[in-house]
């Protein structure tokens, strides 16, 4: 499983805790929704789970081991963000963006149309670029995927399409998904279970100092 146990993080030694003792587990193939209002720290937790931030205390494990990339393979936890344009190099074609994950594998044609491949990110729509971002994450063959508000900026039809494709791949390949959103109705529709932000810290003294 993807496990976060007693994870603490803050953006500086004098800053308040953003994540203060979080506990969360995601099983292979499980879709876990993380619900909470904007600004509480959900995205920070997602970056911690994906290995983009290092916790000040606590542990993060993937299938019982520290989440380190294997030789020649990206990190086993991939992150897909709300704004896809912030996650791609605007000077690269879509083909080059996808090759960052795997130069030899073809993307899922249901996610990425062939005629997009030689376009640049600004030459496709926001929904199409989000499908490219999702395809790139899946090409990395992750064990787990963090989906952070991935459809919040999209119209209802595109939102439904992206979630249908993601859930289909997650279930067929047993990819655990942590779906982060402030939209409880969406999480109720896509997730196996939904965890509220406050539930991550049940029984935890959130003001406690990091042990020496």
73-112 residue pLDDT tens: 668 999 999 899 989 999 999 999 999 888 888 888 989 9
- pLDDT value at position 107? 86
Determine contact, residues 183/152, Cβ cutoff 8 Å: yes
CA 110 to each of CA 24, 88, 113, 163, 166: distance values in angstroms, whole numbers, following the listed order: 32, 20, 7, 12, 11
Q: Taking the CA atoms of the chain, what radius of gyration do you get in angstroms?
A: 17
**Of 12-16, 46-50, 64-68, 151-155, which gets the smallest average pLDDT?**
64-68
pTM: 0.90
Where residue 33 falls among pLDDT bands split at 50, 70, 90?
A: very high
Closest CA to 96 of 127, 126, 132: 132
* CATH topology assigned to domain 28-59+75-195: Rossmann fold (3.40.50)
- What does the pLDDT average to over 38-56? 93
- pLDDT value at position 70? 64
Where residue 63 falls among pLDDT bands split at 50, 70, 90?
A: confident
- pLDDT value at position 65? 82
Where residue 64 falls among pLDDT bands split at 50, 70, 90?
A: confident
Q: Any idea where the domains of the chain sit in the sequence? A: 28-59+75-195
Task: Inform me whether the pLDDT recorded for 129 exceeds 50.
Answer: yes
Percent of the chain residues topping a pLDDT of 90 = 73
- pLDDT value at position 172? 93
Where residue 212 falls among pLDDT bands split at 50, 70, 90?
A: very low
d(CA 18, CA 141): 30
Task: Inform me whether the pLDDT recorded for 209 exceeds 90.
Answer: no
**Of 65-69, 84-88, 193-197, which gets the smallest average pLDDT?**
65-69
């Amino acid at each position: 499983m993807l496990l976060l146990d007693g994870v603490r993080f803050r953006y500086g030694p004098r800053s308040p805790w953003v994540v203060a003792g979080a506990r969360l587990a995601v099983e292979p193939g499980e879709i876990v929704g993380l619900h909470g209002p904007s600004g509480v720290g959900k995205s920070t937790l997602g970056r911690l789970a994906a290995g983009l931030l290092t916790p000040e205390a606590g542990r993060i494990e993937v299938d019982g081991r520290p989440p380190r990339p294997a030789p020649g393979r990206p990190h086993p936890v991939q992150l897909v963000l709300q704004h896809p344009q912030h996650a791609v190099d605007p000077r690269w074609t879509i083909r080059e963006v996808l090759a960052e994950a795997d130069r030899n594998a073809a993307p899922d044609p249901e996610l990425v149309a062939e005629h997009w491949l030689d376009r640049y990110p600004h030459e496709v729509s926001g929904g199409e670029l989000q499908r490219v971002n999702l395809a790139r994450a899946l090409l990395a063959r992750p064990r787990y995927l963090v989906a952070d508000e991935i459809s919040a900026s999209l119209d209802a039809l595109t939102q439904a399409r992206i979630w249908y494709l993601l859930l289909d791949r997650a279930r067929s390949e047993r990819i655990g998904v942590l779906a982060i959103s402030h939209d409880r109705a969406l999480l109720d529709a896509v997730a196996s279970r939904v965890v509220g932000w406050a539930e991550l810290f049940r029984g935890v003294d959130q003001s406690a100092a990091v042990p020496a």
